[in-house]
Every structure is written in structure tokens, then in C-alpha cells.
Structure 1
Amino acid sequence: MRDQLLGDRYRLLRQLGEGGMGQVWEARDETLDRPVAVKVISLLTGGGSRGGEARARFLREARITARLQHPNIVTIHDLGETGTAENRVPFLVMELVRGEGLDVVLRRGPVDLKDAARWGAQIGDALAEAHAAGVLHRDIKPSNVLVTPSGRVKVVDFGVARAADPYATADRLTQTGFIVGTPPYMAPEQARGYPEPRSDLYALGCVLFELITGRLPFRAPDTVGYLTAHLTQEPPAASAVRAGIPPTWDDLVSTLLSKDPTHRHPDAADLAQALRRLDHVPGPGTPADAPTRPHTPPAVPVPGPGPVLPRPVPAPTFAPYRPAPSDGSPSGGTATASGTLALLCLPGLLYMVGRTIQYFQDPTAPTRLIAMNMVLGIVEAAALATGALLLFRRRPAGRRVIVAAGAPAALHGLSVSVQYQVAGGPPSVAVLAYVIGPLLAVSAVAAVVTAALPATKRWCLRLG
């Protein structure tokens, strides 16, 4: 395609990159005599009537994306189609950025925490602008984030992944055979086919984790492995991967990587503000008054926004960020409460088991019901003790065990009163029905609630 003229205006000069959707070229706008970047969406070439519908939808959605005007978003100048009637292919014309992608930066290893905070805040600004306009990115990853020689971040390909989905329909994100997004950075709800604005924040959390540690939060051999990890596994704490990362960074990244979108930052603007506060907190080995040096990558053309921009205006000053307590576990109180409440359930459960054994000796007693209560009590006591032990050792599995065992233990405690009144029983076990059972239920419910709190989850994820 070299030297080809697209739309009777854009002369392709050299290929800059190639991906699953197509190729990116450095080109010259012969009408305005300026350099541009052209993305040729070869994924949508041909395809008969279905292909024509997909290209028309791509161009419609690309026009919506082209309305985004922000210093941290690549500007789309033009769009169109080229090729013969049977092999039409759409293309986007964007400004050309002189700089390098974060994927190139990451090949040199982890970045300085201040750079990660500054770049992350600018990505957050770009996402806030797009989300306010009703546009999701759906494919935040290092290769879609460019850093100019002046240190300004530019986010590319807003909405391109969605627009280039040949199976998408108006009322559904995607159909069988096409995953919108990049699996190593994909939010759980996006993997299920239901993205929302906070899905982009999850992807940014993966990028930030990679920037400060030098590796992804999950490692897998293939797409299925990555999607399974995002859906079912808890990520490690960043400080467990790279020594010296402050608890404040652990808190922020683990919040972004929450499986439940409602447990993440409420929006991109809030995240950008949090990252700017982190930018004012000295990292390991960095004096509080040390000046920050601007990032100056080599001036190499890359796909995305255009000319080198002037040095950005410094971020506004926010109130000083108060770091977490010296033990690095500001949310340890909820975890301790949950474990303690789980252990407080044990005397009640064991008392119930002991009394039901005595009750079992009554020849008129409902033996099947008593036997079931005995087995349930023993299992619940063992599970709650195990969950508390794991939780005190900061194992995420402890939270899940307490939630799984605490709920039936609470129901068990409540059911004791009902069973006593319905089936009858000697006065000697009345205290079990009217005191021990209700107390057990209250303790178990409180253990479940505190174990499920996001603060307890964050405490577990900081694996020292």
C-alpha cells in the first residue's frame, strides 16, 4: 500500500504498526501539506452486505468519537473508505504524535512512581472527557497510550475496538466470535459482554499495575486463561511484586482491580484526582523536595495524535495526601472484626452441638432433625474457625470462607428458636432457643458483613 493515495488526499508513506484491526501508516495530507497518521481497518474489508453494514456502522460511530476534543485524546481529522466495490475498507485519519507508546516504555522496566501517577491522571482526564460524551474506550492498554517528548499523554483509538466489531449490533456489544478489548486488560463485566465506564478504569488499573511493577496483575498462557483470571482470581498486591511500593499505591490499584465495578472509583475524574494526590507523595528513595524531571522519549513517529505539544501546564495543587498508618493496613480493623466475630460464633455452635446430643437421648425427640443440626453445627464451626485463621493471615480465601459459612450459621441460629417452638422440647434447652441461637445469628451476620466490606478485601490483598 506504500505510496497509495487514499480518498484522493492522503499519501501513505511508511507503515508504523499493525494489529488485529489493521495497519497504521504515516501519511501526508496533500491538500493541507501536513503529516498525519492513517489507520486502515482491514478487518472490515469486503464481507458482502454484512460487511457493508459493518463499515457503515463503523463510520457512524467513528464520527461520534471524532467529536472528542481534549489535550489527552488523539484528534481524528477525517474518515472514509477506499478500494473497489467488492473490497471496500474504511480508514481513519488522525494527527501524528511524535513520541512513543507505553508498551515501548515498559520494555525498559517499571517506571518512576511519579511518572506513573502523572500519566495515569492524564489518562483519567481523557476517560472523563469521553465518558461525559457517552463514549467508552473498551481497549485501554499500553500500546494505546502515547507519551510525547514534552511528557504529555495521548490516548488513541477511543471506541475503535467497538466500532470495528463486525458482529456488533445496535442493542448488544458483541456477538459470538469477537471479543471487544484486549484480554490481559479486560474487566470482568466486559469479558461477560456488558462493559460500562468503570470497565475502562479496571483496564487502567491493569496498566498502572504494569507500570509500577513491570508485569501484569495476572499471567496466563492464552486468552481463556486471562479471562478466567479476571473473572475468578484476586490480583496480588503491587508491593508483593515489587518492593518499595507504598500502601497508598496498593490501595489505589487494588480498588481499581475490584471484580465489582461499584467497588472501584466512582468515575474517571475521581481517579485522576486521586492519582494527582499520589503524585505529591514521595516514592521510595525520593526526597520530598526533589524536583521531578520531565519524561523525554525519543521523537519517533507513532500512530495517534499529531504534532509535539508545548509542555503541559502543571497539575493543580490539591490538599496534601495523608499516607496510611505506619503498619500499612488502614483497613485491618474490619478484617480483625470479621475474624473475631467468626470465632465468637464457635462457643454458641459447640454449645448447640453438645445440647442436641443430650436432647438426642430422649426417645420422643425428632432424631433426624437433631442429627442434621449436629452435623451442620460441626461443619459451620470448623469452617468459621478456618476462615478466621486464613483472614488473620491476610489470605483472601478467609473472607470467602467466612461469608460462605457465616450465612448458614446465622440461619441455623435463628432456626433453633423456630424448631424448639414447633417441635417442642424440654425446658433445659430453652436457653439454647431464646439466647444462644439469636446471639449466634447476630454474630454470624456481623462476621459476614465485615468480611464482605471492600476495606477487608484491600487489607487481604496487601500481602506484605
Structure 2
Amino acid sequence: MRPGFERLMVGRLLAGRYEVLEPIGRGGMSLVFRGLDTTLGREVAVKIVSLAQSPDQVLPNLRERFRREAASAARIQHPNVVGIFDYGTDPELELDFIIMELLTGRDLKEELRRNPVLPQPEALRILMDAARGIAAGHRAGIIHRDVKPANIFLAGEDEIEAVRILDFGIAKPLGDDPEHALTTIGHLPHSPAYASPEQIAGTTQLTATSDVYQLGLIGYELLAGQRPYNEHERTRVRAGEDVPLPRTPAWTSVSPALADVVQTALRLNPDERHPDAAAFIEALAAAQSDDGTAYHPGSAPLAASAAEDAPVLAAETDSTALASAAAGVPVIAPSVAPPPVVHPVDELEPAGVPPSRPQRRFAVPGTPVMWIVPLLLLLAVAVWASRRGGSDAPAVAAVAPDSGQL
């Protein structure tokens, strides 16, 4: 988009509802603004996609694809995927936009610029949760196609509270009907440094293994402290050459099991990789379990539970969708929770009946003070008996009053 466009957009109202407040980000084909949903009164992220600059003959097809893919991405509801609220085209400005959840934090690209070598537990947490978000898309039948550090958002101020995948809005539904394929759009979006070999080769029929390859690139960068390939090495990869991964000091500290998972994700042949992101997560979990470096979700605020791993697909409630959502990624080495307290049936209060008062329990003191009262009582009896002239003291008995005396 042209320089100065951001200033022109500030203060505009898109589709009569979304006020553009200030620019907060820029991508190769989009601008992101902080905005306000004037209907609901909440702040949102407004992403304006540069479709209107395309040639007139392809613009209708571009917009059809944009709307179809935005609708598919909006159906993914998962704690590791940024939420998409709305999308459309402003009729007056002819600008295409996506309305998303507004996040606070930084992306992984910025984090790695500040801290190229992260502690291994932190790196694994980020990689696992990023893969969870990608797996949610795969279960919903969508591949991302542009998995890179700039599209992995670390939400939170001081601590990483959550890892969120961005830009599912340019993702591609799996198994597109060839009769409805939009073949005039041109090249598929990707970033050269994080493109899979099949993307570099210009293959249009990508599968989930392309995302797995990109997760492998990010996994190596997180664990090794640098990108796996430079431009020259990417050229060799493009030519079909199997280029070994550099052995950085950080990479040499990675266990053989973890290294094998990443190397499998980076196989040149897509059929030799993990078939999808869920399989990649399972392999990472097994490797961490084997070497004792398991990622414990309960130990970090960014972790998602097993129930959260299953995506909720909006507007789908049939049995197939529910079964797909229930087949979530297993939680990796969870901390063991104490067993629940089970109350016998006869201890439970019936519904609608006020709870009875708890039975009072008296504690028996463990000091000599408890004997003072009986001794004083015996002393009084002895004095009374002596005054009666030395008669035998009567037996002292504790008698409970009968009901008539109450």
C-alpha cells in the first residue's frame, strides 16, 4: 500500500460500523489498525487487505476467494488462534477488511530479534502452542500456508500469557472443489525464508505437510538460535538437495529425540514428514517424555487444556463436527491433580432444601486443666459430708434429665 495511506485512514468509518483509530502494523499485502466497533463499543484490530489494487479482471475472483477464506477462518475458535469477528468490503471506499481480536504483546519475530536464543523450555512452550493453533486449522480443514515468526503472536505484557496464530484469513481450505478453484489469482502467499519446498516450486495443491515443514523451520530457529538456511542454502533446497542443519551450540544441546522430530518435519518429500500439525505435536510430546524434558502445560500461563485443544467450529453442531472437535491434541505431560472428593449419597442435601447445620465436634483438651472441675466437685462433696457428721459420701452419678424436665 502507498506511503501515507495510514494517515488517510485514521478517523474513517468502515461499513458504517468500524472506526479506524491508529495504525499498529503493516504486512506485505495489508495494514493493521486499532479500531473501534461502534455497535458493540469494544476495541478491535482492523486489517485492510490490498485487493483493490489488483487488475480489474481478477479483482472479482480475488474478493470471492477473500470472503470464502475469511469465512472459513472465522469458524476456527481456539485459544491458540486469534479470533476473527467480521469481514467485508466497504462500499464507499471499496476497501476489503477483516475485523479481529485486538491483542497486546509482540510477535515471535520481534521476540527473536531481542532474544535470539531462548531457554529451551520456553522455546518448546512456544512451539507446542503454535502447533496447537495450526492443528486447530487442520482439524477444521484449513491449511495456513504462511507459518512464520511474524504470524505467531505472544500475547501478554511481561509474561507470555498465550501464543496465538495470526493470518488464518489468507489460509486455504483443504480439498477445494476443482470446479470452484480460483486459478487466476496468481502465486500463493508465503514468505521465502519460511516457504516449503513445494511452495518454492510453485505447487498449487498444498497439503497440511507444508505447514508442518514451516513449523519445523520455526522449531529449529527456536531451539538452535538461528534460521536453518541462508539464501544460498535455500537455493540448494529448491534444487532438491538435502541440506544438513547447522550444528549451533544451542542445537547440540537438543536431545536426539527432539532433533529427530524437527528433522522429520523438514524432509524434502512431503510424504516423509509428519502428516499434519497434530502428528507433529504428538511426536514432540513423545520425544520430550523420552528424554525427561516434557512440557508441562500446568506450569505456564500460556498452556491450553485438552478441552481447549479441540476447536469449536461455529455454526456446526452435527455429530461429525462434534466428533472432530472432541478429537483434540493430547495434553503433554500434565501435572497430576489430586483425586476429587466423593461424598456418599446420604451426605448430600436434596435439591431445594437448605443445608443443615454442620454437626459440632468438640475437641478434648490435652492439658491438666480438664481435671480442675471434677476435683473441685469432689472437694465440695467431701466438705459437705464432713459437716453431716462423718457419714459415708454418696456415690456421684451423672444423670441426664428426662424429656419431661426439658
- What is the DSSP-based 3-state SS (H/G/I as helix, E as strand, rest coil) of the residue aligned with 2:73? helix
Q: 8 Å contact 2:30–2:50 — kept in the other structure?
A: yes
Q: 8 Å contact 1:45–1:89 — kept in the other structure?
A: no
Query: For 1:291-320, what per-residue CA distance to the aligned partner results, in whole angstroms no more than 9, with x for missing partners?
Result: 966689xxxxxxxxxxxxxxxxx944279x
Measured after TM superposition, the shift of residue 252 of structure 1 is: 1.1
1:271 to 257, 280, 286: 280
TM-score (normalised: structure 2): 0.63
The residue number in structure 1 matching 2:165 is 155
The residue number in structure 2 matching 1:102 is 108
TM-score (normalised: structure 1): 0.56
Matching of residue 117 in structure 1 with residue 124 in structure 2: yes
| 1:215/1:240 CA distance change after superposition, 3 Å | closer
The residue number in structure 1 matching 2:237 is 229
The residue number in structure 2 matching 1:246 is 255
Measured after TM superposition, the shift of residue 27 of structure 1 is: 0.8
The residue number in structure 2 matching 1:89 is 95
Q: 8 Å contact 1:128–1:267 — kept in the other structure?
A: yes
The residue number in structure 1 matching 2:333 is 317
Measured after TM superposition, the shift of residue 69 of structure 1 is: 1.1
Q: 8 Å contact 1:239–1:250 — kept in the other structure?
A: no
1:190 to 191, 199, 213: 199
Measured after TM superposition, the shift of residue 254 of structure 1 is: 0.7
Q: 8 Å contact 1:2–1:14 — kept in the other structure?
A: yes
Q: 8 Å contact 1:117–1:276 — kept in the other structure?
A: no
**d(CA) in 2 for partners of 1:264 and 1:197?**
10
| 1:230/1:279 CA distance change after superposition, 3 Å | farther
Query: For 1:57-86, what per-residue CA distance to the aligned partner results, in whole angstroms no more than 9, with x for missing partners?
Result: 2112211111111111111100111264xx
Q: Which has the larger radius of gyration?
A: 2
**d(CA) in 1 for partners of 2:333 and 2:253?**
25
| 1:257/1:241 CA distance change after superposition, 3 Å | farther
Measured after TM superposition, the shift of residue 113 of structure 1 is: 1.7
Measured after TM superposition, the shift of residue 244 of structure 1 is: 1.9
- What is the DSSP-based 3-state SS (H/G/I as helix, E as strand, rest coil) of the residue aligned with 1:259? coil
- What is the DSSP-based 3-state SS (H/G/I as helix, E as strand, rest coil) of the residue aligned with 2:87? strand
Measured after TM superposition, the shift of residue 89 of structure 1 is: 2.0
**d(CA) in 1 for partners of 2:181 and 2:249?**
41
Residue type of the alignment partner of 1:157: D
- What is the DSSP-based 3-state SS (H/G/I as helix, E as strand, rest coil) of the residue aligned with 2:45? strand
Measured after TM superposition, the shift of residue 174 of structure 1 is: 6.9
The residue number in structure 1 matching 2:350 is none
The residue number in structure 2 matching 1:262 is 271
For structure 2, the 5+ residue unaligned runs are: 1-8, 304-329, 336-406
Residue type of the alignment partner of 1:148: A
Q: 8 Å contact 1:109–1:214 — kept in the other structure?
A: yes
- What is the DSSP-based 3-state SS (H/G/I as helix, E as strand, rest coil) of the residue aligned with 1:251? helix
Larger helix share, 1 or 2: 1
Q: 8 Å contact 1:238–1:250 — kept in the other structure?
A: no
**d(CA) in 2 for partners of 1:137 and 1:202?**
12
Matching of residue 134 in structure 1 with residue 141 in structure 2: yes
> Quick one: higher RCO (CA 8 Å, sep 6+), 1 or 2?
1
Q: 8 Å contact 1:141–1:207 — kept in the other structure?
A: yes
The residue number in structure 2 matching 1:204 is 215
| 1:175/1:47 CA distance change after superposition, 3 Å | closer
- What is the DSSP-based 3-state SS (H/G/I as helix, E as strand, rest coil) of the residue aligned with 2:33? strand
- What is the DSSP-based 3-state SS (H/G/I as helix, E as strand, rest coil) of the residue aligned with 1:207? helix
Residue type of the alignment partner of 2:192: P
Q: 8 Å contact 2:147–2:214 — kept in the other structure?
A: yes
Matching of residue 39 in structure 1 with residue 47 in structure 2: yes
**d(CA) in 2 for partners of 1:238 and 1:292?**
31
The residue number in structure 1 matching 2:231 is 220
Measured after TM superposition, the shift of residue 146 of structure 1 is: 0.8
**d(CA) in 2 for partners of 1:227 and 1:180?**
19
| 1:159/1:226 CA distance change after superposition, 3 Å | farther
Residue type of the alignment partner of 1:201: V
Root mean square deviation, CA, Å: 3.2
**d(CA) in 1 for partners of 2:191 and 2:162?**
24
**d(CA) in 1 for partners of 2:104 and 2:138?**
26
The residue number in structure 2 matching 1:171 is 181
Measured after TM superposition, the shift of residue 199 of structure 1 is: 0.5
**d(CA) in 2 for partners of 1:96 and 1:129?**
20
Q: How many residues align?
A: 288
**d(CA) in 2 for partners of 1:100 and 1:143?**
9
The residue number in structure 1 matching 2:152 is 145
The residue number in structure 1 matching 2:78 is 70
5 Å matches for 1:448-463? none
Q: 8 Å contact 2:145–2:190 — kept in the other structure?
A: yes
The residue number in structure 1 matching 2:379 is none
For structure 1, the 5+ residue unaligned runs are: 297-313, 320-464
Q: 8 Å contact 2:224–2:248 — kept in the other structure?
A: no
Query: For 1:119-162, what per-residue CA distance to the aligned partner results, in whole angstroms no more than 9, with x for missing partners?
Result: 22222222222112221100000010111224321101115165
| 1:88/1:172 CA distance change after superposition, 3 Å | closer
Residue type of the alignment partner of 2:168: F
Measured after TM superposition, the shift of residue 46 of structure 1 is: 5.7
Residue type of the alignment partner of 1:180: P
Q: 8 Å contact 2:30–2:49 — kept in the other structure?
A: yes
**d(CA) in 2 for partners of 1:256 and 1:269?**
12
**d(CA) in 2 for partners of 1:276 and 1:113?**
14
- What is the DSSP-based 3-state SS (H/G/I as helix, E as strand, rest coil) of the residue aligned with 1:37? strand
